[in-house]
Structure 1
Amino acid sequence: MQFKRELELAKTLAIEAGKVILEIYKTDFDVGYKEDQSPLTLADKAANDVIIPRLEEEFPGYGILSEESKDDGLRLKKDYCWIVDPLDGTKEFIKKNGEFTVNIALSYNGISILGVIYAPVLNELYYAVKDRGAFYEKDSHIEQIHVSERTEGLRALGSQSHRSHAFNELMDAKKEQVESILAVGSSLKGCMIAKGRAEIYYRFGLTSEWDTAAQQIIVEEAGGIFKQMDHSEMRYNRVNTLNEKGFYILNHTSSGLLGGLI
């Protein structure tokens, strides 16, 4: 399989980083803050230290963009770029609700082509490679996953820590179509839609490339839709790493929500 070595390494590193995160999760860890006032813990740094050196060693010709590493811009000259969030959902980690993940993605010429998401507390692994399908793995059980076929009684996902007024207004306006709204942390939202456990998610606020790259390819390979709010394609390994337009995830176009909710 193409990108087999990349996929196996990403899966291994996600799980190894998850083990390190869990060791810190069990302690009374300290919480610091970055310049933008987003929280930072020892677990963010420790997971980054597990992942980045191995990616550099095994794939020296690839660029790397990580939330917890200084960006020197050299990645912009590379066709392939690893995009890493060592601990997605730091706020959920701090709350100790278990809804945080390790995200590792690989982009090629701006397109996400491989993604791995591991939820340490749940011991759930999601992964996908472009044109190879999306998969779910837990306790040695592996299954290919697909988005749901629902077009009515839709299940929406909201953020645990970033619910916006715009999202609430949208859900209220479409309450006849939306059966339920469940708050979920981190990139688990994309995983839930890919696995057929929900149908829609809208994110109006700012995110970064490392928040979306892994879940995008997993959603798309499961048959779902992942677009920016203006319906344009999300691109990666950009100069500006912020996703400024927001994004949405849908199970499929026949849900009637593409034009109906935005």
Structure 2
Amino acid sequence: MTDRTLHSSSRDLAEQAGAVLLELRARLRAEGVGPREMKRAGDRAAQESIAGGLTRLHPGDAVLSEEAPDDLRRLSRDRVWIVDPLDGTREFGEPPRDDWAVHVAVWERGELVAGTVALPARGVVHSTGPFAAGRPPTRRPGPLRLAVSRSRPNALVVDLSERLQAELVPMGSAGVKAMAVVDGTVDAYVHAGGQFEWDSAAPVAVARAHGLHTSRTDGSALRYNAPDPWLPDLVVCRPEVADLLLTTIAVLPDAGADRCLRR
């Protein structure tokens, strides 16, 4: 199978799930359904869309999904699809918020080889391969801008912003934050409160395809398809600010404080 097929499949799956979510959200909103049930319905519908698509397109591949049981069979497979069917369920359940995403990534023999982050409510899709720009847009002048959770900014990022006199830009899901680096809205997305592989696999694949730096907060490589899918921390940033961010993080007093937290 060619890499181009994997890039196209990841994009098609994410776009199809996004279309399902948009239709579902509009219908449930019109029916007066509350946020809790809207979020649950969104998770189910997006998972069914992606799972069904993978059964048709790549029936022999393993899957690691936030919304499906993990039987660990993926550990013996050469190719694994790592998906978050609805990244940002809170935002999805609060129409008309648009800062939620669909993640579809492909891991093959130790590496992320393809991925897509769809932002359905914005009509935007970011992908790897022939769909990627290959380098980030020109940086805007002014202080560094760091994407941060609108509801739970972690202490390390707050400390980092104070040390660097950076601007914090609140926004929703992990995919939205990472894609804000891709499109030049912010310069970096630093997270130290703990995530799972499905939170970052597709964003990291897309960020790399667009020429961005990706790593753990100590500068080490991000690893996927591990027996335990927990990933404590993440940096996605413009390459020219990577050294500054990593060296600053290393000297912060709480640099490792959030790394062992699990949600």
Provide the TM-score with structure 1 as the length reference. 0.84
- Letter matched to residue 57 of structure 1: R
Query: Secondary structure at 2:68's aligned position in 1?
Result: coil
Contact 2:146-2:169 at 8 Å conserved across structures = yes
Deviation at 1:71, TM superposition (A): 1.0
The equivalent residue for 2:177 is: 189
Relative to structure 1, the CA distance from residue 208 to residue 254 in structure 2 (aligned partners, 3 Å threshold; closer, same or farther) is closer
Task: Classify 1:209/1:197 alpha carbon distance in 2 versus 1 (closer, same or farther; 3 Å).
Answer: same
Q: Which 10-residue stretch deviates more, 162-171 or 75-84?
A: 162-171
Q: CA deviation at 1:133?
A: 7.0
Q: CA deviation at 1:100?
A: 0.4
Q: For residue 69 of structure 2, what is the amino acid of its counterpart?
A: K
Structure 2 equivalent of residue 139 of structure 1:
none
Query: Greater helix share, 1 or 2?
Result: 2
For the pair 1:158 / 2:158, whether they are aligned, the reply is no
1:223 partnered with 2:211: yes
1:29 to 27, 33, 58: 33
Q: Structure 1 stretch 203-212 or stretch 104-113: which is displaced more?
A: 104-113
Check if 1:252 corresponds to 2:239.
Answer: yes
Q: Secondary structure at the match of 1:153?
A: coil
Q: Distance in 2 between matches of 1:259 and 1:162?
A: 24
The residue number in structure 2 matching 1:61 is 60
Structure 1: distance between partners of 2:76 and 2:141: 43
Q: CA deviation at 1:77?
A: 0.7
Q: Normalized against structure 2, the TM-score is what?
A: 0.84
Is the contact between residue 46 and residue 85 of structure 2 (CA under 8 Å) also seen in structure 1?
A: yes
Q: Which residue of 1 aligns with 2:116?
A: 116
Residues paired across the two proteins, number = 243
For residue 95 of structure 1, give the secondary structure of its aligned residue in structure 2. coil
CA displacement at 1:31 relative to structure 2: 5.1
Aligned to 2:259: none
Contact 2:92 2:100 in 1 (8 A): yes
Greater strand content: 1
- Aligned partners of 1:95, 1:31: CA distance in 2, in Å? 6
Aligned pairs for 1:37-116 within 5 A: 40-96=39-95, 97-116=97-116
- Deviation at 1:103? 0.5
Q: CA deviation at 1:196?
A: 2.3
2:194 maps to which residue?
206
Q: Distance in 2 between matches of 1:111 and 1:119?
A: 24
Aligned partners of 1:147 and 1:223 also within 8 Å: no
Q: What SS does the corresponding residue of 1:193 show, helix, strand or coil? A: helix
Which structure 1 residue ranges, 4+ long, deviate > 6 Å from structure 2?
none
Partner of 1:36: none
Cα distance in structure 1, aligned partners of 2:182 and 2:138: 8
